[in-house]
Amino acid sequence: MNFSSKKSLGQNFLRDQSIINLITEKGNINKRDVVLEVGPGTGNLTEKIIQKNPKDLILIEKDERLAFYLNKKFGDKIKVFNEDMMKFSYQNYYDKRLIIFGNLPYNISTQILAKWVKIKNLDKFCKKLILMFQKEVADRIIAKTNSSNYGRLSILSNWKMNVEKVIDIEPNCFEPAPKVKSTLLVFTPKKIFYEINDPTNLEHITNIFFSQRRKMIKKPLKFLFTNFQDIAKKLSLDLNLRPQNLDNITYYKICKAYESLIN
């Protein structure tokens, strides 16, 4: 079936069978699993997932034409929601340990990731996420401390999940071909992670630090804490360092200190 692709919905459909197979294998699906695919498009990956016989397969597709087509094509093997993945009520699935697949539309990829990370018992909500991003975004997610890509996105993504890079994918694996490369990442929720009351505080803090990434950390610390010198001492922070020199854990600790101040 040929659909004119909608640029506004980031519609670049995967065509390369070896990549589609690789993505499916990364799910390690068994017949007790409930699988969620967001943005299934024309169902190229969906078809391979069905072959693995999951217990349930839920699809969220915003494009009405595609949702209708998928329903017709796969019938009772799937349950399609013609909805926006950003507005979808995930509550019904909070204890399902989903395997989540998504060749994500570029314009909302970081927002949807942040939305999922913020779900409280993430390891009960999902077992694994196999997600495709624009390469430049994936590079920021997996960036290590002291690198130029390290920042808000790496700190938030690595807070409750382990992230593994699988492969970079060339534009010609898609139809229509995007202008940039893509990267496949696998996320596994951690059982043990640093306790933070409200992850929006972590976003707030990292926003303040990294909006001036060349400045020394004294400036954002002073902005956040009147007693910034005590905080620096308590966390053994060298005030001459730059935001990219502090590791993830240090940001989680700064967040905790901030939370004890505002609560």
- Interface positions, 197-256, toward ligand SAM (CB under 6 A): none
φ/ψ of 128, rounded to 5, equals -165, 145
Binding mask 98-137 for ligand SAM (x = CB under 6 A): -----x-x--x-----------------------------
Smallest gap from Cβ 120 to ligand SAM, in A, equals: 22
The verdict on 26 binding ligand SAM (CB under 6 A) reads: no
The verdict on 13 binding ligand SAM (CB under 6 A) reads: yes
Start-to-end C-alpha separation, the chain: 56
CA gap 126, 54 in Å, rounded: 15
Sequential DSSP letters for 157-218: HHHHEEEEEEEEE-GGGEESPPSS-EEEEEEEE-SS----S-HHHHHHHHHHHHTTTTS-TH
The verdict on 35 binding ligand SAM (CB under 6 A) reads: no
Tokens of 143: 């960036």
Among 59, 85, 185, 254, binds ligand SAM (CB under 6 A): 85
What angle is formed at CA 157 by the lines to CA 94 and CA 152, rounded to 5 degrees? 135
The verdict on 9 binding ligand SAM (CB under 6 A) reads: yes
| Nearer to ligand SAM (CB atom), residue 130 or residue 202 | 130
List interacting residues with ligand SAM (CB under 6 A): 9-14, 38-42, 44-45, 60-63, 66, 84-86, 103, 105, 108
